[in-house]
Amino acid sequence: MLFPQQNDRRNKLDLSGIWDFRIDPEHLGEGDQWFNSLADARPIAVPGSWNDQYADIFNYLDLAWYVKRTYVPRSWQGQRVFIRVGSANYYGTVYVNGTRVGSHEGGHLPFAFEITSLLKWDAENVVAISVENELKPTRVPAGNMSTALGPFASFPRTTFDFFPFAGIHRPVVLYSVPQTYIEDVTVVTDIDGVEGSVTVTARLNEPVATQGSITLSGANSPLQATLSFNQGVAEAKLNVLAPRLWSDKDPYLYELTVSTESDRFSLSVGIRTIAVEGGTILLNGQPMKMNGFGRHEDFIASGKGLNLPLLVKDYQLMRWTGANSYRTSHYPYSEEEMQMADREGFLVIDEIPAVSLQFENDENAATRLRMCQQQLDELVARDKNHPSVVMWCVANEPMPSSLNLETLTASASGDPSVQRGKQFLETLLRRARELDPTRLVTLVTVMGGPQDWMQECDVICMNRYWGWYVLGGEMDKAIASLGQELDQVWSLWRKPIIMTEFGADTMPGLHGQPPVMWTEEYQADYIRGHLDVAARKEYVAGMQVWHFADFAAVQSIMRIGGMNMKGIFTRTRTPKLAAHVLREFWAKRPDAAQTETVGEAVAVGGVTLPR
């Protein structure tokens, strides 16, 4: 799905701003035609979650209505006009001038509907969107499961550890395109010796035969090729001699423009390859490590709403630590975020919202699988052209029913959900590979989860909490157990391992000697211990700390003030002690994404670190 753009053939009108808003707990809105206007409306920001804009609806997760009035420029007449919602969590329905135009399920991916015939050109148009975010067992992610959670019970009753923010989270845009327009573009890059190639497939909205062209500008270019559309589809390949490759150290982007008689669409292209060999991930044929964070879209007041200054700041802070990578835990992030990653040279593990999947019976599993497949299809369609995206992740911590959450162990024998889960996950991994054979595929495993769920993965991604949920306070034993487990997993799979989560809740400002759990010193030691172990193991292809910043979770005895405090930065982005440890390991190493020379080198635990 192409990102809307303004150029000489296309138009775009961003409806971000203050909208009218009203909650609808009794579901009266449709019958009472709230889509025409909202009585007793209150103002709300779009994009933005509703929960943190008003205290009385903090925990409200049911139906709500948004209304906005807008003119559409007359100059758009004769074009086809669409409404596009970047993200509405979880179920969104769009109305234009009183007509229901369509609905979309799934909270973190864009959807669009054509509205040309519904528009008024000489008066204001009424755009209404209803959004509903009930926690339901068969949704992805799920909530309100009947499973007993004991001390892990939370309010709201999610199966996941982040606040279920609701609302319109990304911009609502009206855009116009010519009658015959470029509906999709797929770019695949390759490198063969000193030559790079860019293969472009373009698809029109109609199965016509026509001519077009592609132009690639940047280093050792411009290059041009003809597109001969047959049945609305055309492909062309450009060979770029001695291309400037895209990487985390030099995120060089070419500009590709696809033109047809009536339309034009431009996008940034990074020429790069990604592969694995033994225990190593290869970017452009060179070994590299993916160091960084698990993150969330989360901030005060905006909730999960797109927050551009925060986005820029977070990239700056990630760079400051020396990180070159992150995972979009636990759902797709905004398109603006992916564009930043391309530009700033971050290697992204792109994840669908399949967090804490359970496989308790065939029926629920089938419903969830359909939803996961839809989200995977939509994610690949949206993000397939981003050089930053190097891996698709189809699940975070899927769990067998027999997993004991207190000990993080499971008894595989006699648990039917183990086999059910295996089939489910393999279906998704194969689908990801089929949709995009040019990237790596993975899923993220839970501590104690079945090993053979990872069989189809290119990279083994492990979340481990040695020294926090297991062996908390016993750092030496925890670090030793980590080392042993890593070796076991490596000898089983012989594939690169990324630790996609490891972390310790930490109260900023709490100190201790000896360092005890929750102090900044404990977190710093914990991170150092983990990075030391990883540095000694060649097959560890990346370390992603949980978490970049403290974030809103649900209320429970596990979460102080409803917050997950494992951030390296506080929620307002102040560094904790551990941030400096990351800098020692990542920012000051010669091969780090951002190199910086500070102090003289010292040898620590097998690696040479600057002071």
Task: Catalog residues that contact ligand GCB under the rule CB under 6 A.
Answer: 161, 330, 396-397, 463, 501, 546, 564, 566
> Rounded to whole angstroms, how far apart are CA atoms 593 and 345?
8
365: DSSP letter? H
Single-letter code of the amino acid located at 217: S
Instruction: Please give the span between the terminal C-alpha atoms of the chain, in angstroms, as a whole number.
Output: 47
The residue type at 495: K
* Amino acid (1-letter code) at residue 58: F
DSSP string, 453-483: GGTT-SSEEEE--BTTTBSTT-HHHHHHHHH
Q: Which residues are CB-neighbours of 120 under 8 A, at least 6 positions away?
A: 72, 97
Number of Cβ within 10 Å of residue 111's Cβ equals 19
The span from the CA of 256 to the CA of 385, in Å, is 11
Question: Alpha-carbon distance 444 to 462, whole Å?
Answer: 6
Catalytic residue among 297, 335, 337, 501: 501
Minimum separation from the CB atom of position 575 to ligand GCB (A): 19
**CB-CB contact of 556 with 153 (8 Å):** yes
Secondary structure element (H or E) that encloses residue 526, with its range: helix 520-535
Give me the least distance between CB of 171 and ligand GCB, in Å please: 27
Sign of CA dihedral 357, 362, 367, 371: positive
Q: Render 286-312 in DSSP notation, one character per residue.
A: EEE---EEE----BTTTBTS--HHHHH
In the bound state with ligand GCB, the residue whose beta carbon lies nearer, of 288 and 553, is 553
Q: Cα(106)–Cα(86) distance, rounded to whole angstroms?
A: 11
Query: CB 512 → ligand GCB: shortest distance, Å?
Result: 21
Q: Which of 397, 456, 520, 584 is catalytic?
A: 397
Cβ contact 163:554 at 8 Å:
yes
Q: Nearer Cβ to ligand GCB, position 89 or 260?
A: 89
Smallest separation (angstroms) from ligand GCB to the CB of 18: 32
To ligand GCB, the closest distance from the beta carbon of 405 in angstroms equals 10
- 501 included as an active-site residue: yes
Report the residue number, 420 or 566, with the smaller CB distance to ligand GCB.
566
Using the minimum distance from each CB to ligand GCB, give the nearer residue, 4 or 449: 449
* Choice between 229 and 546, CB closer to ligand GCB: 546
DSSP track, 23-53: E-TT--TTTTTTTT--TT-EEEEESEESTTT
CB of 447 to ligand GCB, least distance (A): 8
- CB nearer ligand GCB, residue 276 or residue 558: 558
Helix, strand or coil, per DSSP, at residue 426: helix
Q: Which is nearer to ligand GCB, 161 or 350 (CB)?
A: 161
Cβ proximity of 312 and 293 under 8 Å? no
State the residue number with the nearest CB to ligand GCB. 161
φ/ψ region of 438 (left if φ > 0, alpha if ψ in -120 to 50, else beta) reads alpha
**Minimum CB–partner distance for residue 547 and ligand GCB (Å):** 7
Please identify, using beta-carbon distances, which residue of 330 and 386 lies nearer to ligand GCB.
330
Q: How far is the CB of 571 from ligand GCB (least distance, A)?
A: 14
Judge contact between 596 and 587, C-beta under 8 A: yes
Cis peptide before 175 (omega within 30 of 0): no
The least CB distance from residue 587 to ligand GCB, in Å, is 24
Residue with smaller CB distance to ligand GCB, 432 or 504: 504
Strand order in the sheet with 125-132: 42-46, 17-23, 64-70, 125-132, 91-96, 99-105
What are the catalytic residues?
Answer: 397, 501
